[in-house]
Amino acid sequence: MSELLQAVLESKEKTDLRDFIDLLRREGSHRYLLRNDILNAFSSFCQDQEKSLDYPKTSALGRLIYYTQELILEYESLYLIVRPEIAKQESYRICDDFSVESLTRQELLDVRDRYVNHYNPEEGDVFEIDFQPFYDYSPIIKDSKNIGRGVDFLNRYMSSKLFQDPNQWLTAVYNFLSLHSYNGITLLINGRIQNQQQLSAQVKLALTFVNDLPHNKPYEDFRFDLQNMGFEPGWGNTARRIKESLEILDELIDSPDNKGLEAFLSRIPMIFKIVLVSVHGWFGQEGVLGRPDTGGQVVYVLDQARSLEKQLEEDIELAGLTSLGVKPKVLILSRLIPNNDGTRCNERLEKVHGTENGWILRVPFRENNPNVTQDWISRFEIWPYLETYAIDAEREICAELEGKPNLIIGNYSDGNLVAFLLARRLNVTQFNVAHALEKSKYLFSNLYWQDLEENYHFSIQFTADLIAMNAAQCIISSTYQEIVGRPDSVGQYESYQNFTMPDLYHVVNGIELFSPKFNVVPPGVNENIYFPYKNTEDRIPNRIEQVEELLFYKEDESQVFGKLDDPSKRPLFSMARLDRIKNLTGLVECFGRSPQLQEHCNLILIAGKLHVSETTDSEEKDEIEKMYRLIEEYNLQGKIRWLGVRLPKSDSGEVYRVIADHHGIFVQPALFEAFGLTILEAMISGLPTFGTQFGGPLEIIQDQVNGFYINPTNLEETAQKILDFVQKCDRNPELWGEISEKAMQRVYTSYTWKIHTTKLLSLARIYGFWNFTSQENREDMLRYIESLFYLIYKPRSQALLEQHQGR
């Protein structure tokens, strides 16, 4: 039994627990409460019972309630799902006589099914999905604080295994070095080195040779000398660089250690061609801001593509491969949309701005019903087309790259599934990036999936998530809490550990959170577009004037709603698409409820759309209507400007800087934010930022140091926090500048694309080496994954396709 629960039952507080349960029962005998509901109910209980103010924190019952994530109340039983530690969950049944039973995961899933009246033991057991056996033979991280640092663990693990047997280690290195080539050009070693013993001897010979050369002597000047010793291009571009590489290898051969292994692998030229998969959105470089399903993902992938190409070019030059004509190529695989709505999304190939060899490759869905497939399709409806899309995309990718890619990186649920299908067919390393997992965004979405299926098709999406995350060799997350949350909240991936889809399947073990496949690699900011407002030499006066006019003065009913009575007030600014999770309407209500905030500030929003007629997205329509209602209800005319514009990226950077010129504030009020790119954009521009406490911003912002946390569900508290800061800035104008400066420093030291891509490519090399040397048999897991694909995913997506064909 949990120590938390035992402490209550063995003390006088057992009576308080009984009274608390009685209070819950008075409000309904059949209830399902999540953590926030539980805390609110317990707070009410403490007030009713006139408990001391510190009782929730100091009492045994208070501690139990704090760590309780879910509470299910049945007619004769209470079920507690307790999370005493990160990534660890325990479930208990408390009967009326206060006897306690521990529940297995299977029993807990049955309870959840029974709660929604979908438990029918007479009809047999429901299908169970269990991935745990496939992780039993893989290395597992022991300490939860090291989750998300998989590559560090894997590097140490590989080292300890390989270095135990020097002969095995030397054989692995020799065989690995023998693999590498580029378009038929042999790299690293040639046939003159015929075995692992000869490799060791020739390394020492080559070291003696390069040691006598001038450090800056170009590789081309002594290339043939090294070839005669058995060494092909790839070791370096100068005598110094080659000497350093060979010294690391020599040290590894004689006295191996994990740091030397990582340093050596970081120099191996093995990544030249990368495919980034982002299927569902309007993927273009202009005219996409604010469209449904696009937002931060398009910005992320485009910036990542540019940075990857730049880093690969640098690595290739340092490896001495430039003179051989070796060039990196980065493809962004997306969907070709014939009815392009004024974008370039109907073009097969589009060069990525700012790159030499980065391209958006668009592949169409097979036609089926043209009334559907020629138009944009929501991320919730896209599933029936992905298998055939992957087959068609494979052909297009191989044609563009003149061969296979070295790495495939999926983005979001659909892109990750396509990445799996491609990686499986091509036998290429697969990385996943989730951006956001819908299961965490929509409460009870798995439990009530049948009620939501018509609009969201979660049965297909959650199955796709399970397939892709288990198939991937590496999962890239932006934050630690994206994986396993915080002490008081469950992580996105953690929510896939066990859950029920009533009448469809039970997930007993959906993902191994302690697997070294998880790595935290936060994205960066495009510093060509987003940079400090103080950098006046990089700003264009004309553009500043245009953005100033747009934000504060322009009158155009097609683009702008609202005229400011006093444009000199400090601006509160936010920019996001209009959907429920981004919660711009919540910010409007927060502003509307605070007359004091209105006295000091104007509210300026860029939200993509102004009119219901401009969108086909039902959630966006609801938010537009709600926005107008709130403006009317709180009489905000003259105090708010709402811009329904699609800005070029260059202008979006200037928007933040113009707001900073006016000593404004950026507010990110999302109900949940997986990471928070707009927060980085605002902070690097110099804006003091208030970000949601639900999700990634908790790891970007250091509260009260370089920004502030807000609870967007508590409107009065949020308004008061912003007002307090504004009033302090009025009394002490230097305070705004101090927070502004610290915000900029935070981004430059932790969130640049250079940091991101250096780490990402290091991961690709190390996981590539691991897959080669471990000879881990993943085929059993992949066959199991394919079974889920063909037996669950495919029939359900086929049923959705039949609906589409009837439209």
pLDDT at 776 over 80: no
Q: Please indicate whether residue 368 or residue 321 has the higher confidence score (pLDDT).
A: 321
Please report the pLDDT score of residue 165 as a whole number.
82
Q: Please indicate whether residue 618 or residue 122 has the higher confidence score (pLDDT).
A: 618
Q: Which CATH superfamily is domain 273-480+514-524+769-805 in?
A: Glycogen Phosphorylase B; (3.40.50.2000)
Architecture of domain 150-178+189-231+235-265: Up-down Bundle (1.20)
Residues 575-584 as b or e (16 or more Cβ within 10 Å = b): bbbbbbbbbb
Please report the pLDDT score of residue 96 as a whole number.
86
Can you name the CATH fold of 536-751?
Rossmann fold (3.40.50)
| Residue whose tokens read 């521009």 | 685
In this prediction, residues 529-538 reach a mean pLDDT of 95
Q: Report the 10 Å Cβ neighbour count for 266.
A: 14
In this prediction, residues 210-222 reach a mean pLDDT of 96
Condensed to tens digits (0 to 9), the pLDDT of residues 335-354 reads: 999 999 889 999 999 999 99
Question: What is the band of 614 on the pLDDT scale with cuts at 50, 70, 90?
Answer: confident
307, 757 Cβ separation under 8 angstroms: yes
pLDDT at 538 over 80: yes
How many helices (H) does the chain have, and how many strands (E)? 33, 25
pLDDT at 289 over 60: no
Give the mean pLDDT of the chain: 93
Condensed to tens digits (0 to 9), the pLDDT of residues 644-697 reads: 987 877 788 999 999 999 999 999 999 988 788 899 999 999 999 999 998 889
Question: What is the band of 293 on the pLDDT scale with cuts at 50, 70, 90?
Answer: low
- How many residues are listed for the chain in this entry? 807
Question: What is the band of 443 on the pLDDT scale with cuts at 50, 70, 90?
Answer: confident
88-95 vs 77-85, strand pairing mode:
antiparallel
Please report the pLDDT score of residue 295 as a whole number.
67
> CATH 3.10.450.330 spans which residues of the chain?
3-103
Please report the pLDDT score of residue 676 as a whole number.
87
Instruction: Of 486, 480, 485, give the one whose Cα is nearest residue 495.
Output: 485
667, 708 Cβ separation under 8 angstroms: no
Q: Cα(79)–Cα(88) distance, rounded to whole angstroms?
A: 17
The HSE-up count of residue 371 (CA atoms within 13 Å, CB side) is 6
Q: Cα(760)–Cα(123) distance, rounded to whole angstroms?
A: 49
Q: Cα(467)–Cα(794) distance, rounded to whole angstroms?
A: 12
pLDDT at 775 over 70: no
Residues 6+ apart with CB under 8 A from 387: 421, 794, 797
Please report the pLDDT score of residue 806 as a whole number.
86
Residues 6+ apart with CB under 8 A from 95: 76, 77, 101
- Categorise residue 638: left if φ over 0, alpha if ψ from -120 to 50, beta otherwise: left
Question: What is the band of 710 on the pLDDT scale with cuts at 50, 70, 90?
Answer: very high
Query: Residue 545 corresponds to which amino acid?
Result: E
pLDDT at 221 over 70: yes
Condensed to tens digits (0 to 9), the pLDDT of residues 735-744 reads: 999 999 999 9
pLDDT at 774 over 80: no
pLDDT cut 90: percent of the chain above it: 79
97, 107 Cβ separation under 8 angstroms: no
In this prediction, residues 22-51 reach a mean pLDDT of 91
Would you give the distance in Å from CA 623 to the centre of its chain? 25
Question: What is the band of 541 on the pLDDT scale with cuts at 50, 70, 90?
Answer: very high
148, 480 Cβ separation under 8 angstroms: yes
> CATH 1.20.120.1230 spans which residues of the chain?
150-178+189-231+235-265
Q: Cα(435)–Cα(674) distance, rounded to whole angstroms?
A: 6
Please report the pLDDT score of residue 667 as a whole number.
98
Condensed to tens digits (0 to 9), the pLDDT of residues 322-338 reads: 999 999 999 999 999 99
> Rg of the chain over CA atoms, in angstroms?
29
Q: Cα(366)–Cα(427) distance, rounded to whole angstroms?
A: 24
Please report the pLDDT score of residue 412 as a whole number.
94
According to DSSP, residue 614 is labeled G
Q: Please indicate whether residue 436 or residue 624 has the higher confidence score (pLDDT).
A: 624
Please report the pLDDT score of residue 1 as a whole number.
64
The HSE-up count of residue 47 (CA atoms within 13 Å, CB side) is 6
**Helices assigned H by DSSP within 340-457:** 370-373, 386-401, 412-426, 438-441, 449-456
Condensed to tens digits (0 to 9), the pLDDT of residues 163-194 reads: 888 888 888 889 999 999 998 899 999 999 99
In this prediction, residues 215-242 reach a mean pLDDT of 97
| Residue whose tokens read 């668009």 | 362
Please report the pLDDT score of residue 61 as a whole number.
96
Tell me the three state secondary structure of residue 333.
strand
Question: What is the band of 713 on the pLDDT scale with cuts at 50, 70, 90?
Answer: very high
> CATH 3.40.50.2000 spans which residues of the chain?
273-480+514-524+769-805, 536-751
Q: Cα(615)–Cα(293) distance, rounded to whole angstroms?
A: 12
In the sheet with 429-433, reading across from the earlier edge strand, the strands are 349-351, 358-364, 329-336, 273-277, 407-411, 429-433, 474-477, 518-520
In this prediction, residues 51-63 reach a mean pLDDT of 94
Enter the CATH code of domain 3-103: 3.10.450.330
Condensed to tens digits (0 to 9), the pLDDT of residues 509-522 reads: 999 999 999 999 99
Residues 6+ apart with CB under 8 A from 109: 498, 499, 500, 506, 507, 508
What are the backbone angles phi and psi of residue 428, rounded to the nearest 5°?
Answer: -120, 150
pLDDT at 122 over 80: no
In this prediction, residues 106-124 reach a mean pLDDT of 89
| Residue whose tokens read 């007479």 | 122
In this prediction, residues 254-263 reach a mean pLDDT of 86
